[in-house]
């Protein structure tokens, strides 16, 4: 891939609340290169989650432009957004968001199915990904039978499905104890460096700085200097 993995220019986002229009993001620009790990910090309500939702093609910006892996994001075409999510993006959430009825292996395999990979190929790739995150002996466990750290590893394995160019992680260590959080961060770092993926981590956790190349701080909807 030539050029930045994430390119955001002049992003604004307004929400209507009754008669009032609230401007949550006020012209944020950010570029993340392949293999780069960037942290996004800021106080609660500063617009971090709104910003990552826009980068993740889950929310449309009011104005400004977003490119993911060189592809223009047009919020007016939902099917195109789903396509970009499927091909270029992986997500890791604070609450893991695993499917409780699916085993670790099935959670990863289902994500592969949505990306058009099925059958033996999906089974093999899911098993390989779980091996990579160190869950080779927990493949057939349901999420309820696993620890927070193990669940987050499944989520990371799922985010890696289809070899996305960008991984967006929202507070990935917030539900984990210090030791497990540290292991998860190390894993993130390893995966980003090895595969040359851009990794954007929204966090309140100062420990995350250990693995980031740089940190962008959002305050009141703007990037702080």
Partner 1 sequence: MIDLAWKMLFHDKLRFFITLSGVAFSVTLVLVQTGLFGGLLENATITIEHMGADIWVTSRNSPNLDFVHQFSESNVERVRAVRGVRRADNLILSFMQVALPTGAEETTVVYALEDFAAWGVPWHVSAGDLADLKRGPNVIFDEFARKRFGAFEVGDYREINGQRMKIVGTTREAKSFTTTPLAFVDYQRAQQLQPDLLRGRASYILVKLEPGADRAAVMTELRRVLPHNDVYAAADWAARSRDYWVKNTGIGFNAFLTVFLGCLVGVVVVAQTLYTSTMEHLREFGTVKAIGGSNWDIYKILGKQAALSAIFGFVLGYLPARALEPVIASADLKLIIPSELSLIVLAGTVLLCLLAAVVSFRKVASIDPALVFRV
> How near is the Cβ of 149 to partner 1 at its closest, in Å?
18
Site string for partner 1, 167-186 (x = CB under 8 A): ---x----------------
The structure tokens listed for 102 are 């699916």
Between residues 114 and 178, which has the closer beta carbon with respect to partner 1?
Answer: 114
Q: Please tell me whether residue 114 binds partner 1 under the rule CB under 8 A.
A: yes
Q: Please tell me whether residue 13 binds partner 1 under the rule CB under 8 A.
A: no
Residues 95 and 101: their CA atoms lie apart, in Å, by 16
Q: Please tell me whether residue 56 binds partner 1 under the rule CB under 8 A.
A: yes
Instruction: Kindly tell me which residue out of 35, 75, 110, 217 binds partner 1, with binding defined by CB under 8 A.
Output: 110
Between residues 37 and 161, which has the closer beta carbon with respect to partner 1?
Answer: 161
- Asked if residue 61 lies in contact with residue 7, where contact means CB atoms within 8 angstroms, the answer is no
Q: Please tell me whether residue 74 binds partner 1 under the rule CB under 8 A.
A: no
CB atoms within 10 A of CB 91: 19
- Asked if residue 219 lies in contact with residue 186, where contact means CB atoms within 8 angstroms, the answer is no
Q: Please tell me whether residue 33 binds partner 1 under the rule CB under 8 A.
A: no
Contact range with partner 1 by CB under 8 A, out of 17-25, 157-165, 184-192, 210-218:
157-165
The structure tokens listed for 175 are 């539900």
Q: Please tell me whether residue 200 binds partner 1 under the rule CB under 8 A.
A: no
Q: Which of 41, 29, 19, 43 is nearest to 220 (CA)?
A: 43
Contact range with partner 1 by CB under 8 A, out of 19-27, 107-115, 189-197, 203-211:
107-115
Residues 207 and 196: their CA atoms lie apart, in Å, by 22
Q: Please tell me whether residue 141 binds partner 1 under the rule CB under 8 A.
A: no
Q: Please tell me whether residue 121 binds partner 1 under the rule CB under 8 A.
A: no
Q: Please tell me whether residue 17 binds partner 1 under the rule CB under 8 A.
A: no
- Asked if residue 197 lies in contact with residue 5, where contact means CB atoms within 8 angstroms, the answer is yes
Place of tokens 């927070």: 148
CB atoms within 10 A of CB 125: 20
Alpha helices for 56-200 (secondary structure H): 78-88, 104-114, 119-132, 148-159, 178-195
- Reduce the DSSP state of residue 203 to 3 states and report it: coil
Between residues 88 and 138, which has the closer beta carbon with respect to partner 1?
Answer: 88
Residues 106 and 167: their CA atoms lie apart, in Å, by 20
Instruction: Kindly tell me which residue out of 36, 39, 91, 216 binds partner 1, with binding defined by CB under 8 A.
Output: 91
Residues that bind partner 1 (CB under 8 A): 49-50, 52-53, 56, 58-59, 78-79, 82, 85-87, 89-91, 93-95, 97, 99-102, 106, 109-111, 113-115, 118-119, 158, 161-162, 170
């Amino acid at each position: 891939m030539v050029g930045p993995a994430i390119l955001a220019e002049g992003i604004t986002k307004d929400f209507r609340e009754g008669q009032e229009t609230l401007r949550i993001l006020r012209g944020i620009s950010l570029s993340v290169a392949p293999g780069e790990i960037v942290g996004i910090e800021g106080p609660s309500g500063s617009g971090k989650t709104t910003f990552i939702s826009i980068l993740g093609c889950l929310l449309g910006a009011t104005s400004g432009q977003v490119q993911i892996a060189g592809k223009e994001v047009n919020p007016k075409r939902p099917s195109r957004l789903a396509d970009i999510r499927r091909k270029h993006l992986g997500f890791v959430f604070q609450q893991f968001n695993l499917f409780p009825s699916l085993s670790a292996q099935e959670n990863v395999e289902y994500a592969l199915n949505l990306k058009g990979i099925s059958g033996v190929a999906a089974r093999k790739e899911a098993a390989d990904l779980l091996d990579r995150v160190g869950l080779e002996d927990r493949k057939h466990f349901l999420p309820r039978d696993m620890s927070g750290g193990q669940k987050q590893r499944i989520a990371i394995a799922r985010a890696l499905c289809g070899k996305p160019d960008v991984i967006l992680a929202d507070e990935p260590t917030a539900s984990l104890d210090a030791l497990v959080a540290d292991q998860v961060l190390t894993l993130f770092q390893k995966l980003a460096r090895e595969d040359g993926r851009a990794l954007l981590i929204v966090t309140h956790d100062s420990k995350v700085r250990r693995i980031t190349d740089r940190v962008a701080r959002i305050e009141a909807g703007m990037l702080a200097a």
